[in-house]
């Protein structure tokens, strides 16, 4: 089974639909299977006290203006839906509140996503699982007890899912990756396990691919110098293209683990072993 590669656009579009479309192009041209966004109802996700905090941004001087400036609404998602269909790439989004999950239903996306921050939001998990769509569940900022409960909810709703190993720091230090957790999650939950990475560079993602992940998610950006909290942990276009190319090579290189003489080795073996008695060389 081929690794399902997700280009996480998130909020790296900075509230600009044209930037979002350019990022969709990057994902499609690089060979990604899907793009992902993030959807929030700002007044539900953040308290009035937080929204009133002074904060300088391209959209104003308060946190409220910054959060609203980053958020897409129906008009933009209609265009995302249209554009992704035109380009032939799937899209979906991680909802950070129940109203946002209900909002996303109108687009009938194939997939759902539970963000690491939301894995403890049981009411949201139940809402997502009730849709019965294949769901990617990120496990950053969680312990086994949190993952146990999430898995229990999805199994109780007969909703297909896979876990995604994740370390929710932005950017993540390589020494914190703990990729051995991929095997741990597979063994504990008897399910597919992907990797959602926030590291700088590509090496850790290559290693995750070699460990047999089912999916790989990386944030993408037009430039890591752009405004935004996720830009530093994102991959620029050339790097993303390189990442997918290498992952596809790694998939081919893993093989089935069975040791035999390959057809391509046979003529070489005959040549290099020509001086050995026939019976000994078999």
Q: What is the set of domains in the chain, with CATH numbers?
A: 4-256 (3.20.20.70)
Q: How far is CA 150 from CA 133, 159, 187, 258, in A?
A: 15, 11, 16, 36
Q: 201-241, pLDDT tens digit by residue?
A: 999 999 999 999 999 999 999 999 999 999 999 999 999 99
Going by C-beta distance under 8 Å and a sequence separation of 6 or more, which residues neighbour residue 43?
Answer: 51
pLDDT for the residue 22: 98
pLDDT for the residue 282: 58
Query: What's the longest Cα–Cα distance across the chain?
Result: 85
2: which DSSP letter? P
> In the structure, what pLDDT confidence band is assigned to residue 279 with cuts at 50, 70 and 90?
low
Question: Is a pLDDT exceeding 70 seen at residue 14?
Answer: yes
Contact 170, 234 (CB under 8 A): no
pLDDT for the residue 147: 98
> In the structure, what pLDDT confidence band is assigned to residue 265 with cuts at 50, 70 and 90?
very high
Residue 277, CB-side half-sphere exposure with 13 Å CA sphere = 2
Mean pLDDT for the chain overall = 97
pLDDT for the residue 1: 81
Strand (E) positions, the chain?
4-10, 34-39, 54-57, 60-62, 90-95, 111-114, 134-138, 161-166, 193-197, 215-219
Going by C-beta distance under 8 Å and a sequence separation of 6 or more, which residues neighbour residue 161?
Answer: 129, 134, 135, 136, 137, 151, 154, 191
pLDDT for the residue 117: 98
Supply the angle between the helices 144-156 and 180-189 in degrees, to the nearest 10: 40
Q: What is the pTM of this model?
A: 0.95
pLDDT for the residue 280: 57
Query: How far is C-alpha 177 from the chain's CA centre?
Result: 15
Tokens standing for residue 187? 């063994």
Contact 193, 213 (CB under 8 A): yes
Q: 74-127, pLDDT tens digit by residue?
A: 999 999 999 999 999 999 999 999 999 999 999 999 999 999 999 999 999 999
Place of tokens 């937080």: 50
Q: 119-177, pLDDT tens digit by residue?
A: 999 999 999 999 999 999 999 999 999 999 999 999 999 999 999 999 999 999 999 99
Buried b vs exposed e over 39-63: b needs ≥16 C-beta within 10 Å?
Answer: bbbbeebbeeeebeeebebebeebb
In terms of Cβ atoms closer than 10 Å to its own Cβ (0-12, 13-18, 19+), residue 232 is: middle
Do the bridges between strand 60-62 and strand 54-57 make them parallel or antiparallel, or are there none, so unpaired? antiparallel
């Amino acid at each position: 089974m081929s690794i399902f590669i997700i280009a996480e656009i998130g909020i790296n579009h900075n509230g600009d639909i044209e930037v979002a479309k350019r990022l969709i192009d990057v994902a499609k041209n690089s060979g990604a299977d899907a793009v992902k966004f993030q959807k929030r109802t700002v007044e539900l996700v953040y308290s009035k006290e937080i929204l009133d905090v002074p904060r300088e941004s391209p959209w104003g001087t308060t946190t409220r203006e910054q959060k609203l400036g980053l958020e897409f609404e129906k008009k933009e998602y209609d265009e995302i839906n249209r554009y992704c269909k035109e380009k032939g790439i799937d899209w979906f989004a991680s909802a950070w509140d129940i109203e946002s999950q209900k909002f996303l239903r109108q687009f009938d996306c194939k997939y759902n996503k539970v963000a690491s921050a939301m894995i403890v939001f049981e009411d949201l998990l139940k809402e997502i699982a009730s849709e019965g769509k294949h769901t990617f569940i990120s496990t950053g900022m969680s312990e086994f007890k949190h993952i146990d409960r999430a898995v229990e909810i999805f199994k109780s709703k007969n909703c297909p899912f896979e876990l995604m190993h994740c370390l929710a720091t932005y950017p993540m230090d390589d020494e914190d990756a703990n990729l051995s957790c991929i095997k741990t999650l597979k063994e504990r939950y008897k399910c597919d396990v992907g990797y959602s990475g926030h590291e700088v560079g590509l090496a850790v993602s290559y290693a995750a691919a070699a460990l047999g992940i089912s999916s790989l998610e990386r944030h993408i950006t037009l430039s890591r110098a752009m405004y935004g909290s996720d830009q530093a942990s994102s991959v620029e276009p050339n790097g993303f293209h390189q990442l997918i190319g290498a992952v596809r090579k790694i998939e081919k290189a893993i093989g089935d683990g069975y040791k035999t003489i390959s057809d391509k080795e046979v003529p070489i073996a005959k040549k290099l072993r020509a001086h050995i008695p026939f019976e000994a060389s078999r």
